[in-house]
Amino acid sequence: MRLGKFPTFFLLMALAALAAAVFGALHNQLSYSVGPDYFLSLKFPQFGIAEGTAPRVGAAQVGVLASWWMGAAVALPAMLYGLFAVPTARSYLAAGIGAIGLVVVLATFAALAGLVGGLVADATGVLDDVVQPPAGVDRSDFLRAGFMHDASYAAGALGALLAFWPMRRAKAIDSAQAAQRAG
């Protein structure tokens, strides 16, 4: 089955949203482990997670709700570029999947770096004058889980730029192959 470029665009946007939702659900399993009060006191009420929901399920729900849209927002510029710049639907699909994977890997490493930053900030108190948790939220949990989340969002923003790389590469390869066939 061959998809045209427009259906491929919509497929890639759906895959980006799905990848971000899965990333958010899994990310929040780790961030819940290092900062449960961040979720119980802050995120569950913020996202309307029903009382009595198993905490891990609630953390996954928060991750999905907080992340799916980020996948679409991050993917949109590069996917639009690819829609018009990459000559073939097949190369466009491959480049889009590569771009999504690149952003997920980047966000994973950023989350881990954020965790390290949160641990350092917690242990040293170096940011206590600048970063204060909301009232009623455990300081350590807020720093660890909050830094992870902030780092992931920052990586998503950077990923919106880096996602152009696979598209530009696919465009160059397709163009070179077309020139070789023509010549």
For 149, the domain range is 5-182
How far is the C-alpha of 164 from the C-alpha of 157, rounded, in Å?
Answer: 12
Categorize the per-residue pLDDT at 31 as very low, low, confident or very high, splitting at 50, 70 and 90: very high
Question: Model-level pTM?
Answer: 0.92
What tens digit of pLDDT does each residue of 33-87 get?
A: 999 999 999 999 999 999 999 999 999 999 999 999 999 999 999 999 999 999 9
Cα distances (Å, whole numbers) of residue 167 to 68, 80, 155, 164: 22, 10, 19, 5
Looking at the chain, the number of H-run helices and the number of E-run strands are 7, 0
pLDDT score at 29:
98
Report the pLDDT averaged over residues 123-127.
93
Number of domains composing the chain: 1
- Asked whether residue 183 carries a pLDDT value surpassing 80, the answer given is no
What does pLDDT average to over the chain?
95
What is the predicted pLDDT for the residue at 1? 55
